[in-house]
Structure 1
């Protein structure tokens, strides 16, 4: 990281009062959670198809086995990056965190204003009646019931209509925010920001990757990510290809000393 970029990032965060944060897997890898597309990522273990809505309905047992082993991390703890974002929110700097992550670590760190754009692994829902099950309940059901993934709160002619699906957005699936109203809400949040902070995402997966396009002209964007993104050379953009926890700690310390 160059000194000039670090100074610019410090000044930007120091003066900002309406920061919108976009986060991806890169902030969670520092808590020991695997990402998806790197050389050590989840997709090296299995094809993307396993995390599709079609596979869930065709092979629910196998889907759950893979998802619980690779996507559910109740023991994971927030790292310094998560904690600093929470402190900045409490200080009134951060207006909103919009995350691709499904691990709940932002909330564990104390952040309140979090949109889980791709859902959460904390719960699962019946696709017929909407009954919500904690993932801990699903694990207990898995140990005691053959068809643990079939809701017993409602009845339908076809069992698959009442399958209990984790509340995550799968390939071929849509989520709570995948509506005109949802997108419009996020676009307005980004448009009102006086700083866009992008952490741990390559910004190459749509529709999440489109969100930076809605920042107002001249509004600074800070990107902290090990790899490249399509926005790295845009005007008023500061790129730091380093650890998120380390980088945010440096910025946070510098702001406190100002």
Structure 2
């Protein structure tokens, strides 16, 4: 893995437009469980499958059950950014990383300092009244008993994309544009099995596609593939010791 990390460092320093595309595996090292691993949410036992509880029709029909599950299993507000989040924020400050595209809803990229974060599935930190549109923070969800309601009486809905709901077209368009203009695309912590998000990497035509994942993907999509915990991989890159020059940069 050392040689692969060395190659990734070299690719980073040779790049002027890096985009990172990440999934649940980016946040597992911050203590947030994923969905599809052996110990993930989909392998736990509930009265209904998690994908049904997190669906639009269940939310509308059984909001009490939805919010009980949502507060219990979807909110990890004490989680902190790990070395992957921190390194990506540093790369953005260096002017190399142009965008973070994430399937996560935890806000950890922003907490680490990243500015241009495209949240494909929304965020637990944004909520709105379904009746009047008033915006609320996550505190409104936590403070309420049962179904959270606006002062107008409307239900406060998390701004997260539920099953059966479409992704935000503006976010999708921005993600497509970022990937299409990248010379290095780093994909991390995702199985590339959830569409339409996984199909975004098909828009990449740049120099190098790097994949970082704990297990090899069933179909290798990257010219550079690193198997390992993404936080450990980014920590080994020593991004804070990279010096950026005017013509591509150099490593110290």
Fold match by TM threshold 0.5 = yes
1:80 positional shift: 0.9
**Counterpart in 2 of 1:131?**
134
RMSD: 1.9
- 1: CA distance, partners of 2:55 / 2:217: 25
1:42 positional shift: 1.1
CA contact (8 A) 1:20 1:190 kept: yes
CA contact (8 A) 1:203 1:230 kept: no
How many correspondences in the alignment?
240
Match of 1:192 among 174, 181, 191: 181
- 2: CA distance, partners of 1:127 / 1:67: 17
1:68 positional shift: 1.0
**Counterpart in 1 of 2:87?**
84
TM-score, scaled relative to structure 2: 0.88
1:25 positional shift: 0.6
Q: Is the counterpart of residue 225 in structure 1 residue 213 in structure 2?
A: yes
TM-score, scaled relative to structure 1: 0.86
Structure 2 CA distance for partners of 1:79 and 1:118, relative to 1, 3 Å = same
1:164 positional shift: 2.0
Structure 2 CA distance for partners of 1:167 and 1:233, relative to 1, 3 Å = closer
**Counterpart in 2 of 1:165?**
157
**Counterpart in 2 of 1:32?**
31
Determine which structure has the larger helix proportion and give its number: 1
1:230 positional shift: 5.6
**Counterpart in 1 of 2:15?**
16
Consecutive unaligned residues in structure 1, runs of 5 or more: 155-161
Q: Is the counterpart of residue 114 in structure 1 residue 117 in structure 2?
A: yes
CA contact (8 A) 1:24 1:200 kept: yes
- Report SS of the residue matched to 1:95: strand
- 1: CA distance, partners of 2:14 / 2:128: 42
- Report SS of the residue matched to 2:238: helix
Point out the more displaced range, 128-137 or 101-110. Answer: 128-137
